[in-house]
Amino acid sequence: MIEVNNLHKSFGDHHVLKGISATFEKGKTNLIIGQSGSGKTVFLKCLLGLFEPEQGTISYDGRVYSELEPRERRDLRQEMGMVFQGSALFDSMTVEGNVMFPLDMFTKQSKSEMLDRVNFVLKRVNLVNSNQKFPSELSGGMKKRVAIARAIVMNPKYLFCDEPNSGLDPKTAILIDNLIQEITREYDITTVINSHDMNSVMEIGEKIIFLKDGFKEWEGSNMEIFKTDNEAVTNFVYSSELFKKVRQMYLEERN
Ligand SMILES: Nc1ncnc2c1ncn2[C@@H]1O[C@H](COP(=O)(O)OP(=O)(O)OP(=O)(O)O)[C@@H](O)[C@H]1O
């Protein structure tokens, strides 16, 4: 579980995060949504320990990041997996090389132990017989699977995903969402996902935090977002006329 309390982050006099508190539970897919510039990426980078907030605390299963020694921080970072926007694979490395990279960097496992683990996670993301392929030979969906395999290869307690669906067609996007949710449940990971994607909100938004101008404007589940009358949320989530009509019909049917 990750607990965030009164988090503030500024760049010079630009106050980006303005006192955010939130709890992200284990085994759940937690989504951060909000308009471009609302502070989602800055928030995710604070959770990853890449930005140091000026005020507030982030606690990882009881370990308050700002109170940890440098070595404890390094250990904690190794418990984190990250799926970057656009997959961020190393183009000159094979699929196997990409997924093995964190094991090679951070563990003392033998080559055959590493290979066993790589094959296990590649199988888990349904990517078999692709070990020797290069990223340029893969589809967008396959690249995401490699990125997910690499993010979970160290058996992380925490998984962070920045726009994991960007650039994918809607059907592939849902498959990737479902894969992230399955893995989150299966390995009891605390997963936090930055998303713009309305389908993701509905499909895997077990807990949703809506950021607006650096404040937490709303939080709830995908079921609750359908019913909320918070205007900022509904304007953002139901931005198209079609979605507005679908929501209206749903609400009328329930009354
Ligand atoms: N390293 C930085 N230095 C200065 N300002 C920054 C830095 N990173 C982000 N910001 C500012 O913080 C604000 C929030 O940016 P952020 O990237 O978190 O938005 P976002 O909600 O993730 O947007 P998008 O959905 O477009 O990615 C923006 O005004 C941005 O210019």
Q: What is the mean pLDDT of each run of 10 residues along the chain (255 residues)?
A: 97 96 96 93 95 96 96 95 87 96 93 96 92 95 94 96 89 92 96 90 92 95 88 84 78 76
Nearest alpha carbon to residue 184 among 42, 60, 29, 41: 29
Buried b (16+ CB within 10 A) or exposed e, 6-44: ebbbeeeeeebbbebebebebebbbbbbbbeebbbbbbb
Q: Which CATH superfamily is 2-224 part of?
A: P-loop containing nucleotide triphosphate hydrolases (3.40.50.300)
Structure tokens at 41: 């990426």
Q: What does 211-230 look like in DSSP terms, one character per residue?
A: EETTEEEEEE-HHHHHH---
Counting from 1 in the atom list of ligand 1, the atom nearest the Cα of 45 is 18
Question: How high is the pLDDT of residue 227?
Answer: 84
Rounded to an integer, what distance in angstroms lies between the CA atom of residue 163 and that of residue 175?
Answer: 14
- Of all protein residues, the one whose alpha carbon is nearest to atom 9 of ligand 1 is 42
Let me know: does 37 contact 19? Beta carbons within 8 Å: no
Parts of the chain belonging to CATH 3.40.50.300: 2-224
Question: How high is the pLDDT of residue 251?
Answer: 76
- Helix (H, G, I), strand (E, B), or coil: what is residue 237? helix
Question: How high is the pLDDT of residue 242?
Answer: 78
Question: How high is the pLDDT of residue 214?
Answer: 94
Rounded to an integer, what distance in angstroms lies between the CA atom of residue 155 and that of residue 110?
Answer: 17
Rg for the chain, CA atoms, rounded: 19
Question: How high is the pLDDT of residue 196?
Answer: 82
Question: How high is the pLDDT of residue 40?
Answer: 94
Q: Is this complex's ipTM strictly greater than 0.85?
A: yes
Ligand 1: which of 40, 43, 160, 212 to mutate, most ligand atoms within 8 Å of CB? 40
Ligand 1: which of 16, 47, 48, 161 to mutate, most ligand atoms within 8 Å of CB? 16
Determine if ligand 1 sits within 6 Å of the CB of residue 195. no
